[in-house]
Amino acid sequence: MDFSLSNRVELIVYLHSPRQVRSLNTFGKVIYFSKRLRYALIYVDAEAKEEVIAKTKGETLR
């Protein structure tokens, strides 16, 4: 069995509401969420980094 690690990068996403964390799971793996400071750390694939940044900036997370 051959295991290979994918290159992943960490992104910091600032949120308006804690409910928006649920929709971040579609973009990548949510590692940490701060309720008080309203931000989340997510890991995404390195190849999809620019695409995820454009999607999270351009649309309202629900």
Bridge partners (DSSP) of residue 39 are: 14, 34
State the CATH number of the domain containing residue 38. 3.30.1370
Domain span holding position 41: 8-58
Residue 45 within a domain: yes
Structural domain contains residue 3: no
Largest pairwise CA distance in the chain: 44
**Number of independent structural domains in the chain:** 1
State how beta strands 39-45 and 8-14 pair: antiparallel
**2 located within any domain:** no
- Please check whether residue 1 lies inside any domain of the structure: no
Please check whether residue 15 lies inside any domain of the structure. Answer: yes
Per-residue pLDDT of the chain (62 residues; tens, 9 = 90+): 778 888 999 999 999 888 889 999 999 999 999 999 999 999 999 999 999 999 888 766 66
Cα separation values, 24 from 2, 3, 19, 43, 52, Å: 30, 27, 10, 10, 10
